[in-house]
A = this chain, B = another copy of it.
Amino acid sequence: MSVIYERVAFIGLGLIASSMIHAGRRAGVQREIAGTARSALTRTIAREDGLCDIVTETAAEAVAGADLVVLCVPVGAMAEVAREIGPHLKPGCTVSDVGSVKRAVIDAVAPHLPENVHFIPAHPLAGTEHSGPRSGFAELFENRYTLIVPEEDTDPEALVRLKRYWTALGANVEMMDAEHHDLVLMVTSHAPHLIAYTMVGVADDLRRVSDQEVIKYSASGFRDFTRIAASDPTMWRDVFLNNRDATMEILGRFIEELMRLQRAIRKGDGDLLFDYFTRTRAIRRGIIEAGQDTAEPDFGRGAKGGRK
């Protein structure tokens, strides 16, 4: 692979940034990596581990001379970071981000950037329930999508370069406009997270079943919810507060649908339930065919000596 950006700066050094750094080193896409984080502990870890070539105290120092600046902070912190780095950006550089909502990030960041830089938002659809500078790994983006959200007047050359960069990190790159991105992600990611959080919260509240029991017998479905509901609290708080309209819409639909199933159960309408459950099964098959999951039973996890 060849160098795509001489110097890349990461603001925020959590799961996504550290995975981008590992993947970027492996692919040799930059000569130098600068990075910073708000937490002193994170900066210390990044120095000790040699995660970045340079770890700076401030975002303003990190972006100095960088050809690509990637904002990897929670969505709620984007405006403040953009305000801080705006005056220190190298003319002609590209500023991107990895936030889970795009309209709110554009509104927060764009006003603070000078005219002579390229702002091209992006969102890698990849993650685990872990966070922090030691949670990253080079393979995180492989066989996963990264959505790039250009505006109509985005510089074509800067766009192609950012696409090449993400492709080199292992991602399948696609384009989407900000509004559609926010709706698609609400359905495929944000709503499932909110629902999983709620389900785990309800279980925790139900005093007649002990936590011990919930934990012990979690393999039967609940376990997958807890994995989703263990994701970074700050990130998700910001996602919901910054994609409010789409969240409200889909939650309304969800509650409506849940009440329909509740009514069917109360009335003993087995046909409705059977048809409903048959339809959702077909969607699963589509996902396996699209290569976004495995049909292996139990994902090969859990069972000692289980089939892999």
Q: Which A residues have a C-beta under 8 Å from some C-beta of B?
A: 76, 125-130, 135, 137, 139-140, 142-145, 147, 183-185, 187-206, 208-209, 211, 213-231, 233-234, 236-238, 240-241, 244, 247-248, 250-251, 253-255, 257-259, 261-262, 265-266, 268, 270, 273-274, 276-281, 283-287, 290, 292-307
Cβ of A130: which chain B residues have Cβ within 8 Å of it? 295, 297
Cβ of A192: which chain B residues have Cβ within 8 Å of it? 199, 221-222, 224-225
Shortest CB-to-CB span from A227 to chain B, Å, is 7
Q: Assembly of this chain: how many copies?
A: 2
Closest to A197 in B: B280
Shortest CB-to-CB span from A55 to chain B, Å, is 24
Supposing A195-B258, A196-B221 touch, asked if A236 and B273 sit within 8 A by C-beta, the answer is yes
Closest to A210 in B: B184
Could you write out 22 A-B pairs with CB less than 8 Å apart? A125-B217, A137-B307, A142-B303, A143-B303, A185-B220, A188-B221, A189-B217, A191-B199, A194-B261, A198-B254, A198-B261, A201-B279, A203-B283, A215-B286, A223-B293, A230-B280, A233-B281, A244-B268, A247-B265, A248-B265, A255-B255, A293-B301
In the complex, the answer to whether B215 meets A280 with C-beta atoms within 8 Å is no
Cβ of A209: which chain B residues have Cβ within 8 Å of it? 183-184, 187-188
From B185, B251, B277, B283, A237 is in contact (CB under 8 Å) with B277
Closest to A258 in B: B198
In the complex, the answer to whether B283 meets A226 with C-beta atoms within 8 Å is yes
Report Cα–Cα, A301/B215, bound state, in Å: 23
Residue among A214, A216, A255, A280 with most chain B CB within 10 A? A280
Cβ of A145: which chain B residues have Cβ within 8 Å of it? 216-217, 219
Supposing A261-B197, A297-B130 touch, asked if A305 and B125 sit within 8 A by C-beta, the answer is no
In the complex, the answer to whether A221 meets B189 with C-beta atoms within 8 Å is yes
Cβ of A240: which chain B residues have Cβ within 8 Å of it? 265, 273
In the complex, the answer to whether B221 meets A140 with C-beta atoms within 8 Å is no
Residue among A196, A208, A284 with most chain B CB within 10 A? A284
Cβ of A270: which chain B residues have Cβ within 8 Å of it? 76, 237-238, 241
Report Cα–Cα, A50/B307, bound state, in Å: 21
In the complex, the answer to whether A250 meets B214 with C-beta atoms within 8 Å is no
In the complex, the answer to whether A197 meets B277 with C-beta atoms within 8 Å is yes
Shortest CB-to-CB span from A71 to chain B, Å, is 19
Report Cα–Cα, A290/B298, bound state, in Å: 18
Residue among A200, A253, A268, A270 with most chain B CB within 10 A? A200
From B139, B217, B262, B280, A200 is in contact (CB under 8 Å) with B280
Cβ of A306: which chain B residues have Cβ within 8 Å of it? 137, 139, 142
Shortest CB-to-CB span from A146 to chain B, Å, is 11
